[in-house]
Amino acid sequence: MTLRRLLTPALLSFGLLGSAQLHAATIDKPECLAPAKPGGGYDLTCRLAATTLQQTGLLDKAMMVNYMPGGIGAVAYNHVMGVRDDDPNLIVAASTGAALNLAEGKFGKYDGSEVRWLGAVATDYGAVVVRDDAPWQTLDDLMKALKKDPQGIVFGAGGTVGSQDWMKAALIAQADEVDPRKLRYVSFEGGGESLAALLGNHIQVFTGDLSEIESQLEGGKIRVLAALSDQRQEGAFADIPTAKEQGYDVEWPIWRGYYMGENVSDGAYQAWLDVFTKLVDTEEFKQARHARGLFPFTKLGTEFEQYVQERIAHFKSLSQEMGLIK
């Protein structure tokens, strides 16, 4: 990480590049790239920005949302690095999963220091989800069955072995002394595909995110056995017990945020930083975040960049512990 990237956001906050209005005017074709198919967490992250930026009028033009699935973020990351590394209009949705994949080397030669991390604007939490007609009423029921026959239950979620959705299942299994490497796990491109597979009875357990399943809660087709949060959440999730309160010390928070290309100018980076700094304090954004089942969590600019690097280092250690990398 260069000294310029560490110091620039702080210096620019003192107005070295002019007003926020001038900055916003430099974003003439705003675009958010979701590194997966529609319907999952990355789509949600882009839509959250696109919807609220239009509602608040913080950008002059509506944001376009495009999709680039592949490798749970790897294809998009490599595309930005190779083709759009200086695009001032482009932000890319990212999450805890991106940091984990970078730690495990799944984005190729890149380690996360190449892009400009813009900010995290919300957080989500992992969830252990089954069909409503599944034989397990509680997480403990599932764990007893899993311990008896680790190969007898089919898990499925976005990403391959080692991805964050796999890691949720692995940590749950490990909490009850089940070898994570014995799990049967089916890989999908994102949360939307995974949930469809669960509802279609192609998998038995979906280790996704709370926000991905909120719209399904009232339909009566799924049962959430556990939220991987530090405490019970409010609203639609109030009746969902945490894994911790059921005796399994597992948490998995998922930040939702954005990055930009490595060679984006300081002015373009600051333009987006100004916009998001204002956006997260608006009532429109807070209401939209809540409506999407997300929870407050904000880190912007340098603070976020440092946080991501800390998370990557943590996940590298965790992945080594799991035997995923050396």
Q: What percent of the chain has pLDDT over 70?
A: 92
Q: Band the pLDDT of 1: cuts 50, 70, 90.
A: very low
Other CB atoms within 10 A of residue 47 CB: 18
> What would the pLDDT profile of 104-146 be if each residue is shown by its tens digit?
998 988 999 999 999 999 999 999 999 999 999 999 999 999 9
Phi, psi of 274 (to 5 degrees): -60, -45
Higher pLDDT among residues 72 and 285, named by residue = 285
Task: Give Cβ neighbours of residue 123 (< 8 Å, ≥ 6 apart).
Answer: 253, 254, 255, 256, 294, 295, 296, 297
pLDDT per position as a tens digit, 180-212: 988 999 998 778 889 999 999 999 999 998 988
Residues written for the chain: 326
Are 127 and 224 within 8 A, CB to CB?
A: yes
How far apart, in whole angstroms, are the C-alpha atoms of residue 82 and residue 62?
A: 26
Residue 104, classified by CB atoms within 10 Å of its CB into exposed (0-12), middle (13-18) or buried (19+), is buried
Residue 292: band (very low, low, confident or very high) from pLDDT cuts 50, 70, 90: confident
| CB contact at 8 A, 157 and 194 | yes
Q: Phi then psi for 118, rounded to 5 degrees?
A: -85, -55
> How confident is residue 17, by pLDDT bands cut at 50, 70 and 90?
very low
Domains assigned to the chain: 3-124+253-321 (3.40.190.150), 125-246 (3.40.190.10)
Instruction: Give the pLDDT band (50/70/90) at residue 3.
Output: very low
pLDDT at 8 over 70: no
**For residue 89, which of 24, 17, 27 has the smallest C-alpha distance?**
27
Report pLDDT for 254.
93
